[in-house]
Every structure is written in structure tokens, then in C-alpha cells.
Amino acid sequence: MNKILLTTCALFCCISNYAQENTIDGKELFGDMRARHIGPAIMSGRFIDLEAHPTNNRILFGGAAGGGVWKTINGGATFDPVFDEHAQSIGAIKIDPTDPDKTVWVGTGEIWTRNSVSIGDGLYKSTDGGNSWKKKGFEKSERISAIVINPQNNKEMYVAVMGALWGDSEDRGIYKSNDGGETWENILYTDKSTGAAELIIDPVNPNILYASMWKFRRTPWGFESGGDTSAIYKSTDSGKSWSKIHNGFPNGKLGRIALAIAPSKPEILYAAVETESAKTNGLYKSEDSGSSWTQLNNDFGLTVRPFYFARLVVDPKNPDILVKGGLYGSISRDGGKTFQDLGAQHSDIHDVVFDLEDSNRLYTATDGGIYRSWDAGTHFEIVENIPVSQFYHVSVDDATPYNIYGGLQDNQSWYGPSSSPGGVEARDWNLIGAGDGFRVLKHASKPIIYSEMQGAQYVWRYNTVLNQSKNVAPPAENDEKLRFNWNAPMALSIHAEDRFYMGSQYLHKSEDMGDTWTKISPDLTTNDPKKQDLESGGLSADKSGAETHTTIFTIAESPLDEKVIWVGTDDGNVQITKDGGKSWKNVVKNIPDLPEFTWVYHIEASAHNPGTAYVVFDGHATGDMNTYVYKTIDFGANWVSIATENIKGFARNIQEDYEQPDLLFLGTEFGLFITTNGGKQWSHFTNNLPEVAVHYIELHIRTSDLVLGTHGRGIIIVDDISPLRQINDSILNKDLHFFETNAGIIDESSGFGSTSRETEFVGANPSSLAKIMYYMKKRHTFGKMSMQILDLEGNIIAEPVPGKSKGLNIVSWDYYRKAPKVAVGKIPSFVVAPKADAGSYKVIITKGKDTYEHMITIKNDPKSTISEKDRAQNKALTMQLFNSIEDLAYLGYRIDATIDFLKDDTSKDAVKFKEELSNLKSKLVITTGDRYVQEAEPELREKLSELYNEVAGSFDKPAPVRYANAATYQDQINNNWKVYNAIEKKYLPKLNQELIKANKQELTLDSKEQFLAK
């Protein structure tokens, strides 16, 4: 028995070792397959922290809630992302005041702890102004609220760790480094549930530090701010010892405390304090470095939602001007006695920075992006190129191009096209909801879109043609309260177009697009009253409905059997009906190694087998950051985990491929993971895909595009994943393997497009070029590697430059053949190349001695209204003009070469010869003027090129006048040849005779074939 076990084990080890060897890292596999970002940036998204360069006011960094770090080098006109390879949830940014052009620090993990926040994974340092980053510890910090550097000695640094939001943690408090961030020591720690919310340093005396500690905790059903351990501490000995400075604060529990020092008068401190009573909440001021505090103001703007708005910023030059983050943001110019709202901008202001030279210029970080003000906060304008929108969900339709639908954190619901002439820009997006947006679904054939706002307060059935909407939310019956999740689930059926599902604690079904509803389930949740806390918030009540729990969260009707419906709940039930809702079975107990009550985030009912489904669980809201992905093939009776160790982050969504059942896509807190073998190995897809939380994935059936709804970087698309269907072990072992690709479509659309201005974001379009895709086992670095495209007769049509990467290479061919050779003039003449004919082409890659061959196909645009006959006529005239251009080019060459040959010959004949040739040339091409307003009148070359460009640049049958003009120009060329031949006859034989006589090299010119081949 033992022996058998051992043998089995050895065999198993062998297999797993084998599997290990074949593991291929995402960066090695995906090669040129790159994601593209389409935004939108129109509503931007939540920013947490702003950091201004201390000496150069063109440079500013912004940290987004889920969209990474953005840098401007132009005073905020535009920003660029600089942190894409790392966790995208940002807490704090600090520029080293002693080395501001190079050294920048980023603490990850959002610190405005709303229900939907992402997590961070530590502290990062850049030594090249933000281009690249290295992690410097704090992996388990989850949220870093402040980074402080001694302005006189950058080896002395402090980090404030807020820490875990959903559970206990010892990684909290104030940490100090004496070696520039290499090693750290915890110097202020309270307990496992109290983190550091703020840390500031006295700019004049850097031995003085102030820290704000905060007791806080979130659960899936509630939030708690405040406790006995919340406090402000002061240290006067660089963090060795700390003492509470509460003289003037009320007794009792405190909540989150915002803290600021006046840089121009550091004995002045401001604190916005959350207390047990509304009366004692609000702004406190100290004019004696924290020894005593006086309450100045408890207006709404100073007390609103402390967990979300605990930021105070003092003007760098004037200690009486301060700004408090808030729903609208508040500014005081009298030292905090009175405030007024900041000017109109997106609500929820989280941070402010003043320009270092001019306090009229300031920037805000809001739930809707970064804003600039030029008049001290009275008016604001949005930065227009930061697509950090936070999608909860994404869906697609089957239009051409297809549209993408989704809802956003605090930024409504939208749809826009996957591509658009000139790129996907702000004007392409359509608003179809209000409040926070979540799930958005398009009716299969009618102009109807369903969208919703938080907690299904409204569920809109919107008619895009009539621009009319109706609230079709399932109504409560008999005064029973329906519990809808903040992000309430909705689903459509592919079996019945008008069917519409929604989930509260019940599954609701409508067969008439939401006009009437039927409950088709009992309460499918645990209905645990302990998890139905309606008094969320802690010291300050925070009743938004965001914490409604024991609700249905995901609904999946089987695409193969409409009677099979899966439902997952936020309190951990996986329910299935096989009879359209008559009976339900909770199958979660059958799932191995899954903690009880773990949130069911997504169920994917398989398109290949009615009993197969995938379930993704997410336990992060109870402090469990593990990845849970399970598969069943028997309606939930048995389950296997398909999560592996190398997946980073808890998962929220899984998408099955429609063709290759083992090709799966998983969205986690840190991006996209792909398996081609049913989950045995997962590869992280990082090509132009930041480490952003992927909340939802949709695979577009017709195009095989993978569409990601990210919670921080908008919509990201991986175009055409079909090569991944073809990957298997035998391909991975080949030196070079071509993948089958869809036929390239020769695009006939106009070049008109974008109306966006210089500072606006424009999303990339997919390439419309023909794609040649191949896998290489090894990167090609030494020796020549080339690619040729040949027609079926073996003529070389084009020679694109091949990709050399290990992994997947994608080479594009623009369908162009080679352009004609044009006569040389004073000013260059632009001619287009003729397009290749639709049909099959052979691709040959030559790599050293080896050649690899593959066939590709290109097609005419199926939308085109041009007949084959008309198209053929266009091609025929194009080639006729092509030949005319080259004929003229050869004539030009003979003239130029002769003149050049005789350039030093001053004999009478030579001079006359050259003169006559020059006169002829001046009629062939323009020989004066420039390419702008001093342009010369066109000569034959210019007129011919223009005609050729018109014909070659279009696809339809040329008008009769084009034929007539083509004939006219060819006649002119012929006549010019006659003139040339006469001149040549007159001078050349005699000239050559003399040259031979003088023992000199006679004039010989290339034949036309030689000339064209050069």
C-alpha cells in the first residue's frame, strides 16, 4: 500500500514538475498582443492625493483611487500615467524635497475608505522622476496615508500606515527610516484596529511631528468610524516619544481627524475632528503648536463624512487661508472662522494643492478627476485627458462597431462605441443614468437599454430612439422591504429577448422588459438579521444604502437551457434552479476549502455544457484576500478549485471563451489573468494593462475582443484573442508557429474623424490592417530576419518588418503594394501606393537559413457598395497611371543623369545640350517655389500625380474625364519623349564620339528596367 502511494506520489510529482517546466510567464507569451484603452475620460474618476513639486510649478503628481499615479510636466494642462506596472490604488505621494527632480515616493492603497475601495500593496520609490519604481516594503500595509521626509535630511523618513480596512492588522501606525527608506521601524502603534490617518512635519523644526490615529473598520454590512484610540499625537524628538495633544477637544470617543500645519507659520495647526456630538464636531485651531485647541466652526462643509473628507490644506504663504475637502470643498480666508464653498466642479473634493508661486492657482482632486482653478478656487476647469473611470460592470451589443455599456462609481451609466472615426473620444459617449451607475444591458434587438442607480432606487428602461425612460424596478409587494445590493444584479436572456431578471433577496423575472414582474424564488440569501445593520457609520452616521447586505449579487441563466438559472448572494449562497425557478438548491456546501459566507461575486454559466459553471468568490470585505475560483460540471454537485498560487489578488469575474472551453479570463484586484488549459496555469496579461482592478469581463462573440470594465482605468480592450484559442504545448515547443487569423478587411472609410482638442483624451481604435501572427520560442537578436508578402504568382508585394519577440508577434500589413517611382523635381511629390487586390497571399519569414511560410487572406470591405467590375476598372486605370508616372520618372532620370554627367563640360555643344534638356525638364516637373504659399504652377508630373492619387486613393469606377485626362497626360509624355529623343540624337552621338576620342568614359544610362529596379 505504502509502495503504491509512493509510486502515485512520484508520478504526481513528475506530472506537476512537468507542468511547472511548461509554465510560461505572461510577458513571455503575450508578446505583441496589447490592450488598448478607450476611456472614457469625460467624467475622469476619483483622485485621492495631489503632490506639487517644491521648486518647479510645472510638475505635479496625482494619485487616483484605482487608476494609478499621473504626472504633469506642463502645469496641469495634461497628465500622463507613470505607475502602470504596480497597484493602481493610491494613498499618498511624496516628492523628496532634497532631490525633487528624481526621487518620488508612492504609498499605495486608497485612504478615503468608501465601500468600493481597492487595496494597495506597499511603498514604492522612483529615482528617475517617476518613470520607474521599486517596491520598498510595507507589502501588508493595504493603505498608506502619508509619507514624510525631513526637508533637511532625506535619510530621515516617516510613513503613516492606515492599514487594513476590513480586519485586524498589526501593520499600522507610524514607521521611521534613518537610511532613506531601506529599513523601517514602527515608532507609533496603537492597536490592531487603529491606523495612522495623517502625519505632518514641522517645516522649520523637523524634529516636530504630528500624527492622527484613527480607529475604523468596515464589514460587508456596515462601517464603524471612531473609538477611544482615535487621537492626535505630537513628537518633538523625531518620533522617539509621542504625547496626545487634546487640550480643548471634547471628552469621549473621537473619529477620523484631519490635520494641517500652516507652512508660513508652523505654530498654527488646524484639525477637523469627528466627535461623539454634532455640536463638538468640526474645525479646531491651535496657535501654540498643539498645546491648546479652540473650536472655530462646525458647518456642514467641515463635518461632512469624515472618513471620506479628512483633508485640510493651508495656503503655503498665508496661514489664514485654508481649504477643507468635502462634498463641495470649503475655503476660509479668515483663519478658519468662516468658510465658503469652492466653485462648481465634480462633487467630493479629497485634496487640494496650491501653486508654489501663485496662490490664485490651485488644483483639486475630486471623485470626477483633477480640476484647475486660476482664481483661488472660485472657478474650476477639469483636466480632460485622465481616463480613470471606475466601472462596476460592462456589457456589449452586436452593432458594427459594437457598443460598450457600463456604470461608474459616482459617475452614472454610459455607453459608447468600441471604435470611432479618429478614435474614441468624449463626444462618442452617451449618458444613460444618474447617481452611481452599475450594470447596464442592451436589449438584443430593440433600441432599449436598461440601467440603474445605487440600490436599484431607479432601474431605467431607456429608449434610445425616443429618448424616453421609465423606472421598471421590481416593486415591493405587501409592504415587504426588498433588499437590493448597492450594485444590484440584472440579467437578460438569450432565449427570450424581452426577459429581464433582477435580484433583491428574491430573484425577480419579467417577460415584458420590466413592465410586470414575478418573484421566481424564495429569499435566496441567509437573511441573517445581524448583517442587516441600518445604522452604519460609527460616530457620524453614514446611511447611503451602500452597506445593504444579504442580497443577491449575480444572476446567470444558462445559455444552453433557459430553465437552468444560477444565483449567487453577497452572503455566500450559490443557488441553482433547473426548472426555471420552481425549486432551488443551495450548492455552496459542496464547494471545498471555501470559508463560509464568502461573497459570490460572479457566476459564469458555461456556453459549452449546461451543467458547467464557474464561480468566483471574493472575501476581501471580511479581510480574506485569497483568490477563489471554482468549476462544476454537474450542476454544482462537485466543484474543483481552478485558482493557482501565481494569481495576484482576489478575483471578481471570470469569462469563458465561446470556442475553446479551456480558455478562461479572470479579473482580479490586480488585473487580468488568462489560462489556456482550464486553469492549470494562469498568466498575468500586462501588455498595456496596468495592475488595475478588473471588475467585469465580456467577450464579444463576433470580434473575439475581450472587453474589461476596470475600476480605475475605464474600458480596456484586448482585440481579437483568437490566437490564444490555438495555443497548446506542441505550439509552444516550435521555433516559429503561425496562427490562423481572420481575413484582413481593406478599409474604405474616409480619413475624417476626431474633433478632440490638444488636451483631451482620445481612445485608440483597433487596427484595421491585415495581421500576421506568429509565436516564437526564442527572441531573435542575432542575424537577419525578414518578412516578405508575395502574391500567388510569386511577385513580392510588400516587405513588412517582422517582430522579433519571444512569444506572440503581430505584424501588420497596410495592404499597400510598392509606390511608383516618381520624377525628381525641386519639391518632393507625394504619391500613394496602390492597394493590393483582395485574395490570398503568401507570407515568408526568413530567419538565418530557415524559412517559414504561411497563407493570409485579405478581403474588400463587405459594407462597400462598389461592384467587382467597377473595382477592376479602378485598378486598371490606377496601374495605367502608375506606369505613366514611372515612364515620366525614367525620362526625368535620363535628363538629370545627362546634365549631371556634363556638369563640368563647358564646350559649346555641351552647354547647348544641357540648356535644351533643362528647358524640357522644366515642363515635366516644377523646378521653382516651395510647398506652401510660394508653390509653383503644376507641371506634368504634378498634374499626373494628382490624377493618379485621386484614382488610386479611391475604390470605385473612375469618371470618364479621368480616362480622358490620363490619355492627355500620356500623350504629353509621349511628345516629351519625342522631344528628348530629338535632342539626344542631335548631341549625344557626337559627344560620345569626342569622349571616346579623348579616351574618356562615354555617357551610358541605365535601361528602364535597371532604373526601376534600383
Partner 1 sequence: MKVLKSLFALALMLVVSSVSAQNAEEIIATYIENTGGAEAWSKVNATKMSATVNQGGMSIPVTVYNTKDGKQAVIIEFNGQKITQMAYDGTHLWTTNFMSMKPEKSSEEMTQNMALNKNDFPSPLLNYKENGYEVEYVGTETKEGAETYKVKITQEPIMANGVESPSISYYYFDTENFVPIVIETTQMGQNVNIVMSDYQEVDGLYFPFAMSQAGQPFEMSEIIVNPEVDDALFAYPGE
CA–CA distance, 708 with 699 (Å, rounded to integer)? 9
Amino acid in position 671: G
- Beta-carbon contacts of 772 under 8 Å, excluding residues fewer than 6 positions away, are 738, 741, 787, 800, 810, 811, 812, 813, 843, 854, 856
Determine, following the binding rule CB under 8 A, whether residue 25 of this chain makes contact with partner 1: yes
Q: Edge-to-edge, what's the strand order for the sheet holding 144-149?
A: 144-149, 157-161, 173-177, 185-188
Convert residues 871-890 into a mask of x (bound to partner 1 by CB under 8 A) and - (unbound): ------------------x-
Give the residue with the Cβ less far from partner 1, 365 or 689: 689
Kindly tell me which residue out of 244, 427, 826, 985 binds partner 1, with binding defined by CB under 8 A. Answer: 826
Determine, following the binding rule CB under 8 A, whether residue 1002 of this chain makes contact with partner 1: no
CA–CA distance, 972 with 777 (Å, rounded to integer)? 57
Asked whether the beta carbons of 37 and 82 are under 8 A apart, the reply is no
Determine, following the binding rule CB under 8 A, whether residue 29 of this chain makes contact with partner 1: yes
**Closest approach of Cβ 361 to partner 1, in Å?**
17
Give which of 437, 450, 442 is closest to 392, Cα–Cα: 437
**Closest approach of Cβ 106 to partner 1, in Å?**
17
Asked whether the beta carbons of 606 and 661 are under 8 A apart, the reply is yes
**Closest approach of Cβ 806 to partner 1, in Å?**
3
Give the residue with the Cβ less far from partner 1, 306 or 763: 763
Determine, following the binding rule CB under 8 A, whether residue 635 of this chain makes contact with partner 1: no
**Closest approach of Cβ 312 to partner 1, in Å?**
31
Determine, following the binding rule CB under 8 A, whether residue 849 of this chain makes contact with partner 1: no
Kindly tell me which residue out of 135, 804, 842, 986 binds partner 1, with binding defined by CB under 8 A. Answer: 804
Determine, following the binding rule CB under 8 A, whether residue 819 of this chain makes contact with partner 1: yes
CA–CA distance, 980 with 74 (Å, rounded to integer)? 59
Give the residue with the Cβ less far from partner 1, 267 or 950: 950
Kindly tell me which residue out of 45, 129, 325, 423 binds partner 1, with binding defined by CB under 8 A. Answer: 129
Kindly tell me which residue out of 631, 713, 737, 817 binds partner 1, with binding defined by CB under 8 A. Answer: 817
Kindly tell me which residue out of 431, 743, 832, 844 binds partner 1, with binding defined by CB under 8 A. Answer: 832
Amino acid in position 750: S
- For 621, which DSSP code? G
Give the residue with the Cβ less far from partner 1, 581 or 825: 825
Determine, following the binding rule CB under 8 A, whether residue 900 of this chain makes contact with partner 1: no
Kindly tell me which residue out of 192, 333, 680, 806 binds partner 1, with binding defined by CB under 8 A. Answer: 806
Kindly tell me which residue out of 829, 884, 965, 972 binds partner 1, with binding defined by CB under 8 A. Answer: 829
Determine, following the binding rule CB under 8 A, whether residue 784 of this chain makes contact with partner 1: yes
Record the cell numbers describing residue 22, joined without a space.
511548461
Determine the interface stretch with partner 1 among 183-191, 234-242, 794-802, 850-858 (rule: CB under 8 A): 794-802
Give which of 683, 615, 678 is closest to 651, Cα–Cα: 615
**Closest approach of Cβ 824 to partner 1, in Å?**
4
Give the residue with the Cβ less far from partner 1, 483 or 847: 847
Asked whether the beta carbons of 725 and 740 are under 8 A apart, the reply is no
**Residue with grid cell 457598443, as numbered in its chain:** 403
**Closest approach of Cβ 691 to partner 1, in Å?**
15
The CA distances from residue 65 to 233, 649, 713, 890, 929, in Å, are: 27, 17, 10, 64, 57
Does residue 97 have a cis peptide bond before it, meaning omega lies within 30 degrees of 0?
A: no
Kindly tell me which residue out of 541, 801, 998, 1013 binds partner 1, with binding defined by CB under 8 A. Answer: 801
**Residue with grid cell 532620370, as numbered in its chain:** 893
Kindly tell me which residue out of 798, 810, 891, 917 binds partner 1, with binding defined by CB under 8 A. Answer: 798
Determine, following the binding rule CB under 8 A, whether residue 71 of this chain makes contact with partner 1: no
- Beta-carbon contacts of 745 under 8 Å, excluding residues fewer than 6 positions away, are 768, 858, 859, 860, 861, 862
Give which of 930, 928, 828, 947 is closest to 885, Cα–Cα: 947
Determine, following the binding rule CB under 8 A, whether residue 869 of this chain makes contact with partner 1: no
Q: Which residues pair with 175 in a beta bridge?
A: 159, 186
Give the residue with the Cβ less far from partner 1, 584 or 813: 813
Determine the interface stretch with partner 1 among 113-121, 486-494, 651-659, 929-937 (rule: CB under 8 A): 929-937
Helices 940-952 and 868-901: angle between axes, nearest 10 degrees: 150
SS3 per residue for 286-345: ECCCCCCCEEEECCHHHHCCCCCCCCEEECCCCCCCEEECECCCEEECCCCCCCEECCCC
**Closest approach of Cβ 699 to partner 1, in Å?**
25
**Closest approach of Cβ 688 to partner 1, in Å?**
12
Determine, following the binding rule CB under 8 A, whether residue 609 of this chain makes contact with partner 1: no
The CA distances from residue 666 to 439, 650, 727, in Å, are: 19, 10, 18
Determine, following the binding rule CB under 8 A, whether residue 790 of this chain makes contact with partner 1: no
Give the residue with the Cβ less far from partner 1, 106 or 197: 106
Kindly tell me which residue out of 582, 931, 985, 1000 binds partner 1, with binding defined by CB under 8 A. Answer: 931
Determine the interface stretch with partner 1 among 394-402, 500-508, 536-544, 823-831 (rule: CB under 8 A): 823-831
Determine, following the binding rule CB under 8 A, whether residue 842 of this chain makes contact with partner 1: no
Q: What are phi and psi of 502, to 5 degrees?
A: -140, 155
Record the cell numbers describing residue 841, joined without a space.
497571399
Give the residue with the Cβ less far from partner 1, 806 or 1008: 806
Count the site residues for partner 1 by CB under 8 A: 58
Convert residues 130-159 into a mask of x (bound to partner 1 by CB under 8 A) and - (unbound): -xx-x-------------------------
Determine, following the binding rule CB under 8 A, whether residue 897 of this chain makes contact with partner 1: no
**Closest approach of Cβ 816 to partner 1, in Å?**
3
Residues in 737-756 that interact with partner 1 by CB under 8 A: none
Kindly tell me which residue out of 38, 588, 716, 785 binds partner 1, with binding defined by CB under 8 A. Answer: 785
Give the residue with the Cβ less far from partner 1, 32 or 533: 32
Kindly tell me which residue out of 240, 818, 859, 990 binds partner 1, with binding defined by CB under 8 A. Answer: 818
Determine, following the binding rule CB under 8 A, whether residue 814 of this chain makes contact with partner 1: yes
Give which of 810, 861, 815, 813 is closest to 36, Cα–Cα: 810
Determine, following the binding rule CB under 8 A, whether residue 822 of this chain makes contact with partner 1: yes
Would residue 336 be called left, alpha or beta, if left means φ above 0 and alpha means ψ between -120 and 50 degrees? left
Give the residue with the Cβ less far from partner 1, 73 or 434: 73
Q: What are phi and psi of 468, to 5 degrees?
A: -120, 145
Kindly tell me which residue out of 23, 28, 341, 677 binds partner 1, with binding defined by CB under 8 A. Answer: 28
Determine, following the binding rule CB under 8 A, whether residue 821 of this chain makes contact with partner 1: yes
**Closest approach of Cβ 829 to partner 1, in Å?**
6
Kindly tell me which residue out of 21, 467, 782, 997 binds partner 1, with binding defined by CB under 8 A. Answer: 782
Q: What is the DSSP string of 236-270?
A: SSTTS--EE--BTBPSS-B--EEEEE-TTSTT-EE
* Buried b / exposed e along 822-844 (16+ C-beta atoms within 10 A): bbebeeebebbebbbbbeebebe
Give the residue with the Cβ less far from partner 1, 553 or 685: 685
Determine, following the binding rule CB under 8 A, whether residue 734 of this chain makes contact with partner 1: no
The CA distances from residue 583 to 503, 521, 522, 657, 696, in Å, are: 16, 8, 9, 30, 29
Reduced to 3 states (helix: H, G, I; strand: E, B; else coil), residue 986 is helix
CA–CA distance, 795 with 802 (Å, rounded to integer)? 19
Kindly tell me which residue out of 468, 786, 1007, 1010 binds partner 1, with binding defined by CB under 8 A. Answer: 786
Which residues form the interface with partner 1 (CB under 8 A)?
25, 27-29, 31, 56, 58, 73, 101-102, 127-129, 131-132, 134, 776, 778-786, 798-801, 804-807, 814, 816-819, 821-829, 831-834, 889, 893, 930-932, 934
